[in-house]
Amino acid sequence: MSKIKIAELFYSIQGEGRYMGVPSVFLRTFGCNFTCDGFGMPKGEKSNERNVIAINAETYNNYGDLPLVSTGCDSYASWDPRFKHLSPVLDSSAIADAIVDTLPHKEWADEHLVITGGEPLLGWQRAYPDLLNHPKMAGLREITFETNGTQKLSPEFKDYLMQWQMPDANFDREITFSVSAKLPCSGEKWEDAICPDVVCEYEEVGTAYLKFVIATEQDYADAECAIAAYRSAGFKGHIYLMPVGGVESVYTLNNRRVAELAMKNGLRYSDRLQVPLFKNEWGT
Ligand code: SF4
C-alpha cells in the first residue's frame, strides 16, 4: 500500500482561483523543491523569519500552534525539515479514511479535493493512484493539484489521471492544475521557476491555469514576461493575478490594487479568501 507524508489534512473553503468558495478537503503533502524566501522582502533580500521560527521548531507539537509569517513561504512547515516531526507518514487507506471523516455528511457530495503542498507533484505522484482508487474516494468528482508548475508528470501518472476522468454513467470527473508560477519576487531563479513546457503538458490532462502573486509594478512586469513565455509555448489557460499577503495586514494593502490591475489588463483576479475569513491560520 502506498504511503504519503502528510503535513496537513483539513476541510475548508477553497480561497483561491477557479474553485474559490467551493467546500474542499485539503491534503497538504510534505516537501517542496523551492523555499521562496523572497516573498514580501525588499528586492534581493531573503526572509529570516523562517530561521527565527526554526530555532524553536522542536517546541511545536502541532500545526495549529505554529506562528503565521508575513514574509517568505506561508506554508513553510510543510517542507522545512526542521518541522518534519509534525507530518506523519500515512498509508492510502488511513488517508482515505481521514479525508472522508472531514466531510460534513461522511460521504462525497459537492466537495472537491485539493492536493497541495509544499509541492504535491514531487515523488508523491507514485502514491496518488492507490489513494484515489480507494473505495471511499469513489464519489469524488473534482481534484485540483496546487503546484508551482515545475514538475513533469510521469507517463504512468499522466495515463492514470486521464483514465480517472473517463466519463462514468453517473457523473463526470475533472482534474485541474492551479499553477502558482514563481516570479523573481519569490526569490527563486527564473530558469528554475518558469517552465512553460511542463505547464503545457498539464493542459493535455485537464484544465490548467496560472496564478501570479503580485505586490509591485515590477512583479506585474515580470508576470507579463512570464505570460508571454507560456503563451508562446502554447499555453491556452486562464491567467489570474493574486495579491501577496499571507497575513491580513499585508493582504489588505494589496488586494484592491491587484484587482484593479487585473481589470485594467483583462486578466482574472483571484482573492485569498482564507486571509479575511480565517486569518490564514494553519488548517484553513
Ligand atoms: S513553491 Fe509554494 S510551498 Fe514551495 S516554498 Fe514556494 S510558496 Fe512555499
Q: How far is the CA of 118 from the centre of ligand 1 (A)?
A: 6
Structure confidence at residue 56 (pLDDT): 76
Segment 33-51 mean pLDDT: 79
Burial of 189 (0-12, 13-18, 19+ CB in 10 A): exposed
Which candidate, 152, 203, 147, 207, places its Cα nearest to that of 180? 147
- Give nearest CA residue, ligand 1 atom 6: 36
Segment 6-23 mean pLDDT: 96
- Give nearest CA residue, ligand 1 atom 7: 73
Give the contacts of 204 (CB within 8 A, at least 6 positions apart). 158
Q: What is the pTM of this model?
A: 0.95
Q: What are the pocket residues of ligand 1 if the criterion is a CB atom closer than 6 Å to any ligand atom?
A: 32, 34-36, 73, 75, 79, 117-119, 148
Atom of ligand 1 nearest to the CA of 35: 5
Q: What is the dihedral of CA 35, 36, 42, 46, to 10 degrees?
A: 0
pLDDT tens digits, one per residue of 130-175:
999 999 999 999 999 999 999 999 999 999 999 999 877 678 899 9
pLDDT tens digits, one per residue of 180-218:
999 999 999 999 999 999 999 999 999 999 999 998 899
Look at 14-18, 45-49, 69-73, 265-269 and tell me which has the smallest mean pLDDT. Answer: 45-49
- Give nearest CA residue, ligand 1 atom 8: 73
Residue 54 reports pLDDT greater than 80: no
State what percent of residues in the chain have pLDDT above 70.
96
- Tell which one of 32, 178, 242 to mutate to probe ligand 1, the residue whose CB is within 8 A of the most ligand atoms: 32
